[in-house]
Amino acid sequence: MFATPGRYKIANALLLKAAWLCCVLGGVAFGAPALAVMFLVSFWQSELQEDLPHVALLGAIGLCLDTLWMYVGVLDYGSAAIALPFGLTLAPAWIVMLWLAVGLSIRHSLIFMVNRPLLGALIVGCGSPLSYLTGEQFGAVAIPSMEGLYILGAVWILLFFWVFNRAKTQLTAG
């Protein structure tokens, strides 16, 4: 329905996977260059202006949500969490970078899910706990309780149903 060139969709999907690996395995040091490449490709494809609202929204949501997961005990990022004054802590920058990468993919490699919001939300919601479990295997995050992953998955289903519906509405309006 909303088409971007096929090669760009494939490149975007590969870059999203590479960003995930770089962020999870190397934190900010590897994640920042991977994300920079995604931004450069979006700019080069003349897509950056349309991608930025999704990037900003998902970056803010990701920071808040992953910080919340830390405070309620669903996830533990250990020393990677950002310590602020007054005992406050934020989710690590590398996880926020992953949310930014997803924002750069909404209109491209994730367009299938945007066009099918319920299916997309179910795929993302079921896949997100697996992604965090894989991150745990790499030592990027600790998951204190498996029950928390059910909550995480349910929240992701609701969140991405809204995100995909919002993106679909914006794409059809434009």
**Alpha-carbon span 164 to 44, nearest angstrom:** 24
pLDDT of residue 1: 36
8 A C-beta contact, residue 90 and residue 82: yes
Closest C-alpha to 106, from 165, 147, 43: 165
| H helices present in the chain, as ranges | 6-44, 48-71, 93-103, 111-115, 117-137, 146-173
Residue 109 phi, psi (nearest 5): -70, -20
Mean pLDDT across the chain, nearest whole number? 93
Per-residue model confidence as pLDDT tens for the chain (174 residues)? 344 567 788 999 999 999 999 999 999 999 999 999 999 999 998 999 999 999 999 999 999 999 999 999 999 999 999 999 999 999 999 999 999 999 999 999 999 999 999 999 999 999 999 999 999 999 999 999 999 999 999 999 999 999 999 999 988 876
Q: What are the structure tokens assigned to 161, written together?
A: 């149903």
* DSSP, res 99: H
What residues have CB less than 8 Å from 102, skipping those under 6 apart?
16, 58, 62, 110
Percent of the chain scoring above 90 in pLDDT: 90
